[in-house]
Amino acid sequence: MKKLLLGNEALAQGAIDAGISGVYAYPGTPSTEITEYIQRSKTATALKIHSQWSVNEKTAMEAALGMSYAGKRALTVMKHVGLNVAADVFMNMSVSGINGGLVVVVADDPSMHSSQNEQDSRYYGKFAMIPILEPSNQQEAYDITKYAFDISENLGLPVLLRMVTRLSHSRAGVTISGRRAQNNIHLSKNPTQFQLIPMHARGRYKHLVDIQPDIQELSENSYYNEYTNAPNISIGIIASGIAYNYLMENFEDDKCPYPVLKVSQYPLPKKPIKKLFDTCKKVLVLEDGYPFIEEAISDFLGENRKVIGRLSGDIPRVGELTPDNIANALGFDIIINENIPKVVSGRPPELCVGCGHRDLFDAINQLGKEMKSQQVFGDIGCYALGVLKPYESINTLIDMGASITMAKGAADAGIHPAIAVIGDSTFTHSGMTGLLDAVIEDTPITVIISDNSTIAMTGAQDSSASGRLIDICKGIGVDEAHLKVLTPLHKNLQENIDIIREEINHKGISVIISQRPCIQIPKEKKDQLKALKKVNLN
Amino acid sequence: MKTNIILAGVGGQGILTIAAVLDTAALDCNLNIKQSEVHGMSQRGGAVQSHVRISDKEIFSDLIPQGKADIIISVEPMELLRYLPYLKKGGFLVTDLNPFINITNYPELKELYNEIKSHKNTILIDAKKMAKEIGNSKATNIILLGAASSLIPLSDESLQKAIKTLFERKGERIVIKNLEAFEKGKEIAAEIVSLN
């Protein structure tokens, strides 16, 4: 019996069936549904698989490593830029190695549908010198996840599993096979494995280097790297992950006339690539994301170049792959019968009608008219839409938590008013440490935490900040006289402007919590939040 | 047999309900299905689409190539036109006529309808009004699905069964209203096609 699953859900089911004891993650498009699926799964609940959200990707990955240390299998999940946050533990756990199987799922977002860049996580996998898996379809997302745990435990290394938006968010029928039991607690036989002081770390790093031939061998023989012969040798094609589907889409009866190497496991398998080079006159590389493979196999000096792809310009250098841009590279005509009529206007996303962020931006914009040099440093979340019309309230948007720290640096440089706007969950994710920097120096910035009591942009997941913001700010050392709470409603506009103005005029750090639950969260949850707030006040 | 359908609308209008009915029915008929959808930032009041592909053979791409869509079903008239480059020659358009206006430069309705009507195979209906008439304004989507159903290679029985399965947990009344909506959609489409 087939189950209809998103690529993300197939992967999650694969992890449950691989015998994980926990998933650790922070929400981020396009990765969110993996953890949500495990949270909703009755099987996972019955098996007591840990699935609560973590505060950020670093805490998530470290907790996953802790579970692996205890001998059990753990999955950790994030979007591509989340791996930047977790990069510290990621790079070091490849040196320590793991105990229970550990798979790091990173969902990349080529074309930046919901992201600020299109970084390609395969570089991280190579950087950490660990195996990388890249499924091409939903069934493979299920199967390859189970396989990922196998090779993780066999090699004693974490494995990187790379998804892309289009596979994460596309459904297909998936055949589910058996589930294996979770591991029992068992510690590593090597007592120094996880003690990365230099004298032990050198040994572990040497070990990581020494087992590279084993990792290479796995790729050479992998079921997921498949070479298909064909008669037309004018060109040979390497297609990785989802690119394989777009390639095959272009041929009738599923028959590609050219030899094809489908790549879903790295390091790159050398033997079949050599065979392709020896057989074909030139090689076309199809990969979603950066020209990772193309760069690796291109002639460094660009002479006698036989490799084409994104670097050569045959495929656009930026943006996601589509069946159409691959058709172009293959020299096929795309028949577009009609263009988009002139009458059609663009429809960018916008803040919901009734959203509290709107009322906050109204107040900030009013102050902007008064204060000529006001700069507003934004952050990651729905309120990033404050960059667009009609608000255009925000001057910067870089990464999780950068609002507070950039406001601090700008204030240090002499900018005033310097206002940071950050969401509740983004604040607990990466804003707290920056706030401490500002508290220590009593930097004259105004931090506005726009608290909607949820992680709204990714679909209203529980926020770690709920009911805790005031205590956290006090604990970090914010002076209570400059820790204010306001309710962003139109009827409070003047009052809210006055509160923010007063804190802008304070020559030190101020925090204003602008508090109103997201209109998208269900009523039951709002009632829970109200109860939580009452407890907190008592 | 391979049928490519693009579902169009604005984030929050619920095009994924139509997708879910199609997916469920196709899987039930042992057909292959791929259905891509949009999550994340664009869901907040922006243009969204879903590509649905149904076939008795293996389907490779999750995305429909340009010029290859058999049908575009839209819950919003301007959004329908955004995906015209995907429509194959002789493909069909099915849309609700009620605009969702959340932008300042929304086109003149008359101009918009003229553009839609300039296409031969078009079913332009007031699905929202029809849904209200049967007493379930949320069933607009299912009326549009009903209107498009004769163009989709899935039997009415399998689509009706999928509607029952999907709305079951909302109670029998909702199931009945949605089946009624499906029927209304079929009827009006039949009338329009016979007029052409």
With a cut of 60, say whether residue A201 has pLDDT above it. Answer: yes
CA dihedral A16, A21, A27, A31 (to 10 degrees): -30
Residue A530, amino acid: K
Residue A534 has a pLDDT of: 59
- Please tell me if residue A385 touches chain B, with a CB cutoff of 8 Å: yes
- Across the range B8-14, mean pLDDT stands at 88
Sign of CA dihedral A191, A195, A200, A203: positive
Mean pLDDT over A213-221 rounds to: 98
What average pLDDT score do residues A261-287 get? Answer: 96
Q: What is the pLDDT of residue A78?
A: 98
Distances (CA, A) of A158 to A68, A209, A343: 10, 14, 52
- Count CB neighbours of A108 within 10 A: 29
Quick: pLDDT tens for B130-168.
999 999 989 999 999 999 999 999 999 999 999 999 999
Residues of B in contact with A116 (CB under 8 A): none
Contact A2 B23 (CB under 8 A): no
CA distance A170 to chain B (A): 4
The band of A304, judged by pLDDT with boundaries at 50, 70 and 90, is low
Helix (H, G, I), strand (E, B) or coil at B82: helix
pLDDT digits (tens, 9 = 90+) for A13-39: 999 999 999 999 999 999 999 999 999
Which among A455, A475, A476 is positioned nearest to A465, based on CA atoms?
A455
Dist CA A102 CA A177 (whole Å): 21
Contact A143, A154 (CB under 8 A): no
Distances in Å between the Cα of A290 and the Cα atoms of A24, A57, A118, A274, A448 are 27, 23, 8, 22, 37
Output the pLDDT for position B43.
74
Please identify among residues 22-51 of chain A the ones whose CB lies closer than 8 Å to any CB of chain B: 29-30, 32-33
Q: Domains in chain A, ordered, with CATH?
A: 2-210 (3.40.50.970), 226-329 (3.40.50.920), 356-537 (3.40.50.970)
Q: How many domains does chain B have?
A: 1
Q: How confident is the model at residue A305 (pLDDT cuts 50, 70, 90)?
A: low
Kindly state the percentage of chain A with pLDDT values over 70. Answer: 98
Closest residue to B39, CB basis, from A30, A254, A350: A30
Six-digit token string for A222: 């992998």
Mark yes or no for CB contact B41/A349 under 8 Å.
yes
Q: Which residue of B has its CA nearest to A109?
A: B40
Residues of B in contact with A458 (CB under 8 A): 40
Considering only CB atoms, which chain B residues are within 8 Å of A346?
47, 103
Residue closest to A240 by CA, chosen among A218, A275, A267 = A267
User: What is the per-residue pLDDT for A538?
Assistant: 44
pTM of this structure: 0.96
For residue B171, give Cα distances in angstroms to B160, B176, B183: 15, 9, 19
Interchain CB distance below 8 Å, A173 and B37: no
* A171 Cα to chain B: minimum distance (Å): 5
Kindly list the residues from chain B whose CB atom is less than 8 angstroms away from the CB atom of residue A351.
44-45
Q: Is A396 on the interface with B (CB under 8 A)?
A: no
Q: Give chain A positions within 8 Å (CB) of B19.
A: 171
Residue A256 has pLDDT above 50, yes or no: yes
Nearest neighbour of A29 by CB, restricted to B39, B61, B65:
B39
Residue A527 has what pLDDT?
Answer: 76
| Residue A252 contacts B, CB cutoff 8 Å | no
Q: Average the pLDDT over B168-173 and give the result.
A: 94
Inform me whether the pLDDT recorded for A533 exceeds 70.
no
Q: Name the residue facing A323 among B39, B58, B65 (closest C-beta).
A: B65
Q: For A462-490, what is each residue's pLDDT tens digit?
A: 999 999 999 999 999 999 999 999 999 99
Long-range CB contacts (< 8 A, 24+ apart) of B192-196? B192/B123, B192/B125, B193/B123, B193/B150, B196/B120
* Confidence tier at A4 by pLDDT (50, 70, 90): very high
- A335/B contact by beta carbon, under 8 A: yes
Structure tokens that stand for B167 in this block: 């709305």
Supply the CATH number for residue B176's domain: 3.40.920.10
Q: Is A382 on the interface with B (CB under 8 A)?
A: yes
What is d(CA A45, CA A67) in angstroms, rounded to the nearest whole number? 17
CA-based nearest distance A506→chain B, Å = 35
Contact assignment for B36 to A172 by CB distance below 8 Å: no
Q: What is the dihedral of CA A78, A81, A87, A90, to 10 degrees?
A: 30
Give the per-residue pLDDT at A303. 61
Interface residue of B63, B165, B166 to substitute, partner A, most A CBs within 10 Å: B63
Give the pLDDT mean for A507-522: 94
SS (H, E, C) A199-242: HHHHHHHHHHHHCHHHHHHHHHCCCCCEEECCCCCCCEEEEECC
Q: Once rounded to an integer, what is the mean pLDDT over residues A61-71?
A: 98
Identify the residue among A32, A347, A380 best suited for mutation to test binding to B, counting B beta carbons within 10 A and taking the highest. Answer: A347
Q: Are residues B40 and A33, on separate chains, in Cβ contact within 8 Å?
A: no
Across the interface, whether the CB atoms of B11 and A246 are under 8 A apart is answered no
3-state secondary structure of B34: strand
Please, which residues 159-178 of chain A have a Cβ atom closer than 8 Å to chain B? 166-167, 169-173
Q: Where are the alpha helices (DSSP H) in A41-188?
A: 42-46, 57-69, 80-85, 87-96, 122-128, 138-155, 165-168
Indicate whether B11 pLDDT > 90.
no
Instruction: Band the pLDDT of A184: cuts 50, 70, 90.
Output: very high
- The mean pLDDT of B162-188, rounded to a whole number, is 96
* Non-local CB neighbours of A17 within 8 Å, separated by 6+ positions: A142, A146, A176, A177, A178, A179, A180
Test the A interface: residue of B39, B81, B115, B169 with most A CBs within 10 Å: B39
Q: Which of B44, B78, B111 sits opposite A382 (nearest CB)?
A: B44
Question: Per-residue pLDDT for A526 more than 80?
Answer: no
For chain A, the average pLDDT equals: 95
CB pairs under 8 A between A and B: 152
Share above pLDDT 90 across residues of chain A, in percent, rounded to a whole number: 92
Q: What is the mean pLDDT of residues A76-87?
A: 98
CB contact under 8 A, B63 and A29: no
Q: Which residue of A has its CA nearest to B83?
A: A340
Query: In chain A, which among 429-458 make CB contacts under 8 A with chain B?
Result: 457-458
A10 to chain B: which residues are within 8 Å by CB?
A: none
Q: What is the pLDDT of residue B96?
A: 97
| Mean pLDDT of the region A42-71 | 98
CB contact under 8 A, B37 and A169: yes
- From residue B35, alpha-carbon distances to A43, A172, A264, A455 in Å are 25, 7, 22, 26
A167–B33 C-beta distance less than 8 A = no
Find the CB nearest B89 among A2, A29, A337: A337
pLDDT at residue B147, as a whole number: 97
Chain A residues touching B39 at Cβ < 8 A: 29-30, 32-33, 114, 169, 459
Q: Is A334 on the interface with B (CB under 8 A)?
A: yes
| Structural domain span for residue B70 | 2-100+108-195
- Tell if the CB–CB gap between B115 and A248 is shorter than 8 Å: no
Mean pLDDT along residues A67-96: 98
ipTM of the complex as predicted: 0.95
Give A116-142 pLDDT, tens digit per residue: 999 999 999 999 999 999 999 999 999
Q: What is the pLDDT of residues A186-198, one digit of tens each?
A: 999 999 999 999 9
Taking residues A497-525, report their average pLDDT: 93
